Protein backbone atom coordinates (compact mmCIF):
# COMPACT_ATOMS: atom_id res chain seq x y z
CA UNK A 1 0.00 0.00 0.00
CA UNK A 2 1.49 3.32 -0.95
CA UNK A 3 0.70 6.63 0.65
CA UNK A 4 1.77 10.10 -0.27
CA UNK A 5 2.93 13.10 1.66
CA UNK A 6 3.13 16.76 0.76
CA UNK A 7 6.59 18.30 0.81
CA UNK A 8 7.28 22.03 0.79
CA UNK A 9 10.69 23.34 -0.28
CA UNK A 10 11.11 26.24 2.13
CA UNK A 11 13.72 27.96 0.01
CA UNK A 12 11.56 28.08 -3.13
CA UNK A 13 8.06 27.59 -1.76
CA UNK A 14 7.51 24.76 -4.24
CA UNK A 15 4.94 22.20 -3.06
CA UNK A 16 5.13 18.62 -4.29
CA UNK A 17 3.57 15.27 -3.48
CA UNK A 18 5.87 12.28 -2.99
CA UNK A 19 5.39 8.68 -1.90
CA UNK A 20 6.34 8.04 1.72
CA UNK A 21 9.18 5.64 2.40
CA UNK A 22 8.78 2.13 3.76
CA UNK A 23 10.08 3.26 7.16
CA UNK A 24 7.63 6.16 7.25
CA UNK A 25 4.78 3.84 6.29
CA UNK A 26 5.75 1.35 9.02
CA UNK A 27 5.87 4.13 11.62
CA UNK A 28 2.49 5.47 10.50
CA UNK A 29 0.88 2.02 10.61
CA UNK A 30 2.35 1.39 14.08
CA UNK A 31 0.86 4.67 15.38
CA UNK A 32 -2.52 3.86 13.85
CA UNK A 33 -2.49 0.34 15.32
CA UNK A 34 -1.68 1.73 18.78
CA UNK A 35 -4.72 4.03 18.79
CA UNK A 36 -7.73 2.60 20.62
CA UNK A 37 -10.70 1.55 18.50
CA UNK A 38 -14.11 3.17 18.85
CA UNK A 39 -15.32 0.14 20.83
CA UNK A 40 -12.31 0.42 23.17
CA UNK A 41 -13.02 4.12 23.72
CA UNK A 42 -16.67 3.38 24.52
CA UNK A 43 -15.71 0.68 27.02
CA UNK A 44 -13.20 3.05 28.63
CA UNK A 45 -16.09 5.46 29.25
CA UNK A 46 -18.14 2.64 30.81
CA UNK A 47 -15.24 1.68 33.08
CA UNK A 48 -14.66 5.32 34.06
CA UNK A 49 -18.27 5.77 35.16
CA UNK A 50 -18.27 2.36 36.86
CA UNK A 51 -15.08 3.21 38.75
CA UNK A 52 -16.59 6.51 39.90
CA UNK A 53 -19.71 4.76 41.19
CA UNK A 54 -17.59 2.17 42.98
CA UNK A 55 -15.37 4.81 44.56
CA UNK A 56 -18.46 6.58 45.89
CA UNK A 57 -19.30 3.44 47.88
CA UNK A 58 -15.81 2.36 48.93
CA UNK A 59 -16.52 3.52 52.47
CA UNK A 60 -19.16 0.78 52.75
CA UNK A 61 -16.43 -1.85 52.68
CA UNK A 62 -13.93 -0.21 55.03
CA UNK A 63 -12.99 -2.28 58.05
CA UNK A 64 -13.71 0.53 60.52
CA UNK A 65 -17.34 1.03 59.43
CA UNK A 66 -20.43 -0.97 60.26
CA UNK A 67 -20.94 -4.20 58.36
CA UNK A 68 -21.77 -3.89 54.68
CA UNK A 69 -25.27 -5.08 53.83
CA UNK A 70 -26.02 -7.76 51.24
CA UNK A 71 -27.73 -5.13 49.08
CA UNK A 72 -24.58 -3.00 49.15
CA UNK A 73 -22.40 -6.01 48.33
CA UNK A 74 -24.71 -6.96 45.46
CA UNK A 75 -24.66 -3.39 44.11
CA UNK A 76 -20.88 -3.24 44.14
CA UNK A 77 -20.62 -6.66 42.47
CA UNK A 78 -23.14 -5.63 39.80
CA UNK A 79 -20.97 -2.58 39.07
CA UNK A 80 -17.88 -4.75 38.73
CA UNK A 81 -19.78 -7.09 36.38
CA UNK A 82 -21.00 -4.25 34.09
CA UNK A 83 -18.12 -4.75 31.65
CA UNK A 84 -19.14 -8.37 31.04
CA UNK A 85 -22.32 -7.30 29.24
CA UNK A 86 -22.03 -3.66 28.20
CA UNK A 87 -20.45 -2.47 24.98
CA UNK A 88 -20.95 1.28 25.49
CA UNK A 89 -22.63 3.81 27.77
CA UNK A 90 -25.67 3.57 25.50
CA UNK A 91 -26.48 -0.04 26.40
CA UNK A 92 -25.64 -0.14 30.11
CA UNK A 93 -28.30 -0.90 32.66
CA UNK A 94 -26.82 0.59 35.80
CA UNK A 95 -27.81 -1.07 39.08
CA UNK A 96 -29.81 0.93 41.60
CA UNK A 97 -27.74 2.15 44.51
CA UNK A 98 -29.20 0.91 47.82
CA UNK A 99 -29.76 3.31 50.71
3-state secondary structure at position 1: coil
Regions of the chain with pLDDT less than 50:
none
Q: What is the pLDDT of residue 89?
A: 82
| Percent of all residues in the chain with a pLDDT value above 70, rounded to a whole number | 98
How many angstroms separate the CA atoms of 5 and 17, rounded? 6
Q: What is the pLDDT of residue 50?
A: 95
CB 94 within 8 A of CB 85: no
Q: Is the pTM of this model over 0.75?
A: no
Q: What is the pLDDT of residue 39?
A: 84
Amino acid sequence: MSRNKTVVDLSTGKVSTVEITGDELAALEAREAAEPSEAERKMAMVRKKRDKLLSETDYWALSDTTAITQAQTDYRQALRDITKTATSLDDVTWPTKPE
